[in-house]
Homo-oligomer: A and B are copies of this chain.
Amino acid sequence: MSVTHPQGFLAAGVAAGLKSSGAKDVALVVNSGPRFDAAHVFTANRCQANPVLWSKEVAKDGVVRAVVLNSGGANCYTGPEGFQTTHATAERVAGHLGIGAGDVVVCSTGLIGLLNDRDVLLAGVDAVVGALAPAGGDDAAHAIMTTDTVAKQVVVEGDGWSIGAMAKGAGMLAPALATMLVVITTDAVVPAADLDKALRAATRVSFDRLDSDGCMSTNDTVSLLASGASGIAPSLEEFTALLADACQDLALQLLADAEGADHSIAITTVNAAHEDEAVEVSRSVARSNLFKAAIFGKDPNWGRILASVGTTQAAFDPADLDVALNGVWVCRGSAPAEDPSAISLEDRDVTVTIDLKAGSASATVWTNDLTLAYVHENSAYSS
């Protein structure tokens, strides 16, 4: 269900033949109204895929009526030919639905530098329009998967309105948007300007703090569409809170399905001078291959945590840091404390806590361990 759970949305997912596996690879989500408010967040990467270049323009006026997505090719660094493919995709959707191409967001995911066959893609668009259904969200969620092993979907309920969302993403997950495509729908009445505020607030504490492998994608897109079909206008605070819940739920689903990962690691920095510094410290640990390999090996090697903390500019006294692994304070005052051998790293979920003793701000960044399977999977992706 997910994106078709809120009233006023149709969706579908079909197999167009872009994926050699024959799995579903073209998805469409259509807002039937009565309102067409929208807000978007795109990758911060300066090297952006053609669909991102297109969709940023489409998103500017806060009105979007459909999102078409394909897996099986990122359409990034494919030159003018690739941009024309994106444009033609939006035009084809618009033609079928009787709307303007300028109201159609396009998302693509897959290999960079690969030019998809335009005819195959457009035939997929024809098929997915024909398959649109009030319960098509699940098919759509499956059609955007790449190396994902499960579809990611979530529904949260407001008072007479709801939010539904789907996401894909398993590698290239970092920072300022994990590599991913996300479509979020709601039947609440929320003007585009408020949607934008709510979306930025929600992504800042969810997707932006997911840093699975430190690699920022060229295609990240989060598309939030509001149909207003419930007729109910929640307060901005209420809407933002539920939206953040939905985004965080999806972020943790992405974390749980990250390529080859054995562990989901929550790195929380506490008592920082500023929230930004807490994020910086947590992210530095999330980026340490040595730390991440140790967690894969179930090795409570906390020295690698401190070595990462020391690369940051955050306020702290290097001689007075405390570090806990799964709640065991293995380091106090920058010296060995509780016995690390008491720590079990058998479970998937691992927590790291770093106490900077420099203020009262805190933040969590989520990452995965660095595993043999991650290297194996990513050493043979395009071939």
User: Which residues of A line the B interface, CB within 8 A?
Assistant: 44-48, 74, 76-82, 111-115, 171-172, 213-218, 287-290, 293-294, 296-299, 301-304, 306-312, 318, 321, 330-331, 333-336, 370-372, 374-376, 378-383
Contacts and interface: CB of A to CB of B under 8 A. Distances in A.
Contact of A46 (B318, B335, B379, B382): B318
Contact of A306 (B112, B310, B331): B112
Contacts of A335: 77-82
Given A297-B383, A336-B78, A372-B372, A47 B378 contact: no
A178 to B, nearest CB: 13
A141 B78 CA distance: 50
16 contacts: A46-B311, A47-B318, A48-B310, A77-B331, A80-B335, A213-B289, A213-B290, A214-B287, A215-B289, A215-B290, A215-B308, A218-B303, A293-B375, A294-B379, A297-B381, A299-B383
Contacts of A299: 379-383
Given A114-B303, A115-B336, A370-B379, 11 more contacts: A46-B309, A47-B318, A47-B334, A48-B318, A80-B335, A213-B289, A216-B307, A216-B311, A289-B289, A293-B374, A374-B375
Contacts of A46: 309-312, 318
Nearest to A383: B299
Top 6 nearest A-B pairs (CB, nearest first) are A112-B303, A297-B379, A47-B310, A79-B335, A293-B378, A45-B310
A375 B372 contact: yes
A311 B318 CA distance: 29
A77 B45 contact: no
A302 B74 CA distance: 13
Nearest to A376: B372
Given A297-B380, A379-B294, A77 B289 contact: no
A284 B84 CA distance: 30
Nearest to A378: B293
